[in-house]
Structure 1
Amino acid sequence: MPELSLRRARTIIRKTLEHGTGAGMKPLSVIVLDAGGNIQAFERSDGASPGRFQIAHGKAYGAVMLGMAGTAQMARAEAQAYFIAAANAALDGRLIPVPGGVLVRDAKGRVLGAVGVTGDSSDNDAVAAKAGIEAVGLVAEV
């Protein structure tokens, strides 16, 4: 199974935070999970509220566990709320099905993990994650 190294995870976080700062976003929190849903790295910007860890984790966890990014999860929740509710129950209530949970893929389309970003609007969170992922030469599925 391909891996998402700690070095790349840290670079994704740094580039995501830099993008957020450059775009004038509110303080962000960023988590990177591997393909098994395990935490590779996390950082919370100065001024970000402490509960943002759980939100970032829920966004990324849902993406990697369901194999669909937060934007697709939100659309699925709007179309079939019962599916997302059932999936959330099956995964111990750890999903946050909104943009900002972004799948990380390699050039061959294999899922390497997911990035969860929170702190600004969900759409802006997803844009920041995409910038961080693409900065390390990987493919972001928002």
Structure 2
Amino acid sequence: MDIRLETANLQFLDELYRIEEECFDEEAFTKRQLAYLLTAHNAITLAAKDDRNIVGFIIVQVEITDVKFGHIITLSVVQSYRCKKIATCMIKEIERLLKQRGIVECRLEVREDNYVAISLYKKLGYQRIGKLERYYGSKHGLYFKKLL
């Protein structure tokens, strides 16, 4: 299976929204929110495509607080394409793009019962730095970061 990465944009909005809904149900971003995220001046976006379709995407925002960092806002992979290293590939490419821009840290949130995602993030070197009470409605979130 040949997967290629390209910049995600508004042209892909309907497909990205369908994937977001499939992956996150009631926690999914709305189509309007995704449109905003795709066009934000501080966004880095990637879509993973097979021969015909988008099978995953990632949206990262560059944020500046006490440090300039990349913030993974959403990462989604179509159910039938999971466990094929697509998320790993997208994260590694995002990290490369962040480093290219001189950004030395990446952060993300994940639902505390999303064990598959947590395992992936730990495997890629992300460390838990906090717990987010009721971040996902009634579910708690975990806050992770990685020095690039």
TM-score by length of 1: 0.31
Whose radius of gyration is greater, 1 or 2? 2
In terms of fraction of residues, the more strand-rich structure is 2
Greater relative contact order (Cα 8 A, min sep 6): structure 1 or 2? 1
TM-score by length of 2: 0.30
